[in-house]
Copies of this chain bind each other. A is one copy, B any other.
Amino acid sequence: MYSFTEENYLKTIYHLSQQKHLENVTTNAIADLLQTKAASVTDMLKKLADKKLILYVKYQGVNLTEKGFKVAIGTVRKHRLWEVFLFDKLKFGWEEVHEVAEQLEHIQSDYLIDKLDTFLNYPSVDPHGDPIPGKDGTIKSQTLTLLIDCKKNAQVVISGVKEHSVAFLQRLNEMELCLGKKLKIHEINEFDRCMIVMIDKEAKILVSNEVAKNILVSEA
């Protein structure tokens, strides 16, 4: 139905409009995220607008139409289901799943995705804690807190990450921090806001504020 490239543009526009709430998505922002040139983006925006997938006003940025939103959210759904498959079944690390999912998300077969969803037992979040949109396009908005904003003695569970880079996720691997780990904040340093955190009621570790800024938690 839609090409590899069209799906990628729509998904990118979706992610950007989520990030920077309600504003129009700009040409340069899309070019940055897709690692392409602004001129190429302008070309594609015209084509997507012709197909009624986006609302595009020259020089004013773009927004997804209902139709474009459905394609975007469908692509996100496919991406995240594949990530779950790679992580749960094939035992990929959470820092490894994204790259391959970028390819798998473009396989065209609704039947396949239904079967995959069933096989994975209808997961609600991906290996990074991001919600998986339903078949109908609905998506649960998360109400998570940043670890850095938690108070002393708070007891929380790691439920997501704000940063998705391989380097950051590997850093968390080294610290044995992953989704589902229960933390208790033992101490917060006043000077640099680094934290001493107790994991699973066992080890105490030091979490830099740079790391704590990118970990999402919910109440334990």
Contacts and interface: CB of A to CB of B under 8 A. Distances in A.
B107 A90 contact: no
A118 to B, nearest CB: 8
A100 interface: yes
A91 B108 contact: no
Interface string A110-144: 01100110110000000000000000000000000
A65 interface: no
A90 B119 contact: yes
A184 B108 CA distance: 42
Interface residue range, chain A: 10 to 19
A114 to B, nearest CB: 9
Contact of A109 (B103, B116, B119): B103
Nearest to A103: B107
B90 A100 contact: no
B104 A100 contact: no
Q: How many copies make up the complex?
A: 2
A89 interface: yes
Q: Most B CB atoms within 10 A — which of A92, A104, A112, A118?
A: A112
A112 B100 contact: yes
Q: Most B CB atoms within 10 A — which of A99, A100, A108, A116?
A: A100
A62 to B, nearest CB: 28
Contacts of A118: 90
A111 B90 CA distance: 10
A121 to B, nearest CB: 13
Contacts of A90: 112, 115-116, 118-119
Given A91-B115, A116-B90, A107 B109 contact: no
A136 to B, nearest CB: 21
Shortest 5 CB-CB contacts between residues of A and residues of B: A90-B115, A103-B107, A100-B109, A100-B112, A90-B119
